[in-house]
Chains A and B, each alone.
Chain A
Amino acid sequence: MELYNQLLQQLIMWQYELNRYISTTIRSLNDENNITVSITILAIAFLYGLIHAAGPGHGKALVAFYFTSNKSDYKKAFKMGYMISIIHAISALIFTFGIFFILKTMFRRNFNDFTNIAMQISAVMIMLVGLYLIYEAFINRKSKEEKISKQNKSEYAVAFSAGVVPCPGVMTIVLFCIMLNHYILGILAALTMSIGMGLTISTAGILSIAINKKSKGVLSSKAYLLEMIGSLLVFSLGLFLFLSLSLK
């Protein structure tokens, strides 16, 4: 645990350094160095996304629990990681451009309010997905074929519920670019960052599936129980998030 905490502390320091490096590099952008500096910014944004999503949040727990409760392959984990991160980035772009061009003033306060509201919506959606998975595990424990088609639907629901919260990290970079009149760069940086985040989120799902596969022999007889526990954990996650936001 000590090692894990040190890793998280180190992730923060890397983000702190990358945050400084990105802002300094964006400020240094001019007509002469446009292409090389833009490529550098996008490369850093990718790295920043990778590290940023490795810290707390971004639906990694949800993805891990989901794949505990659903048998899947690595491709699906990869797909879901990227669905979450792309929805995450698109949501951030919509919120940022929306707030910036519609409201203009009181940006920071609205930025926080919107993030809070989006997190509450996300928490309710996670709870609903959890309930759906509980229902699915209970009803479909004998009908495997029907389950496969329903599983696809729940994958989109999981990805949407986790990704709908706009990533404040992406919003900050996009806004910073907008304020310095680098609109296209802002959008590209958001997308590049989301590619980095997708890789990290996918890893959480892949790890979860790998554990599932490793413990297959021992747990195959308890598959239903495992699915139910995973589904309950998804629901608890949403409830916990909702309560922590409501009690603030």
Chain B
Amino acid sequence: MFKKFIILTFFVNILFAHPHTFIEVFPTIEVKKHKISKLHFKWVLDDMSSAMLIMEFDQNGNAKIDKKENDFIRKNYFEPLVDYNFYTDVKINNKIQNTIKPKNFRASIRNNKAVYEFDVDSKYSIKNLKFDFGDEDFFVAMILKKEFVKIKGAKAKVSDLDNDFYFGYRLEIK
């Protein structure tokens, strides 16, 4: 009975969501005097999700995202992601900090893919600083590879993030 219970629990655990959109995260970080002086994120959405989004984003069909279209995307697609903490948890000493406040949002189309870029102004101290990327609803898979990270003034370590209910990646600044 116990064995059966364990196996049924296993099935419950894997019942719900699973990723359908893949976002590659490209962070650009500059560190000065042990503090973040520049923090820029580029998200590149997968080809198939991009195709759907671009159909809606590029309203005048010129294969570019104009200012009006950019405002529409920011308001209707990007800003609502605050509910998901923009899939980015900032942790200092393992404590989650306030939700990031993205600025200078820009959307574009590159190689048939939708690209979001934004800056984060917060001057975090790099002591025990970690960025955890993932979607707790698990509909979006955030993909971070070591070669995606550009960093100046410090070192970065990328590792897998296992939060039991979803997976993501951790970026540690050292």
Contacts and interface: CB of A to CB of B under 8 A. Distances in A.
Nearest to B138: A56
B49 A172 contact: yes
Interface stretch (A130-138, A143-151, A173-181): A173-181
A12 B52 contact: no
Given A8-B167, A12-B167, A56 B18 contact: yes
B15 A57 contact: yes
Interface stretch (B4-12, B31-39, B97-105, B118-126): B4-12
Contacts of B76: 109
Interface stretch (A31-39, A73-81, A83-91, A100-108): A100-108
B96 interface: no
Contact of A55 (B18, B52, B53): B18
A61 B13 CA distance: 9
A15 interface: yes
A57 B17 contact: yes
A108 B56 contact: yes
Q: How large is the interface on A (under 10, 10 to 19, 20 to 34, 35 or more residues)?
A: 35 or more
Contacts of A20: 22, 46-47
A161 B25 CA distance: 36
B51 A175 contact: yes
B48 A237 contact: no
A22 B48 CA distance: 9
B19 interface: yes
Q: Is the interface of A mostly helix, strand, loop or mixed?
A: helix
B53 A9 contact: no
Interface string A59-100: 011001100100000000000000000000000000000000
Interface in B70-124: 76-77, 112
Nearest to B112: A27
A61 B15 contact: yes
Contacts of B49: 172
Contacts of A241: 15-16
Contact of A15 (B14, B17, B19, B162): B19
A8 B14 contact: yes
B52 A60 contact: no
20 contacts: A12-B141, A16-B46, A16-B143, A23-B46, A23-B47, A23-B48, A55-B18, A57-B18, A60-B15, A111-B52, A168-B139, A169-B18, A172-B20, A172-B48, A172-B52, A173-B48, A175-B48, A175-B51, A179-B51, A207-B7
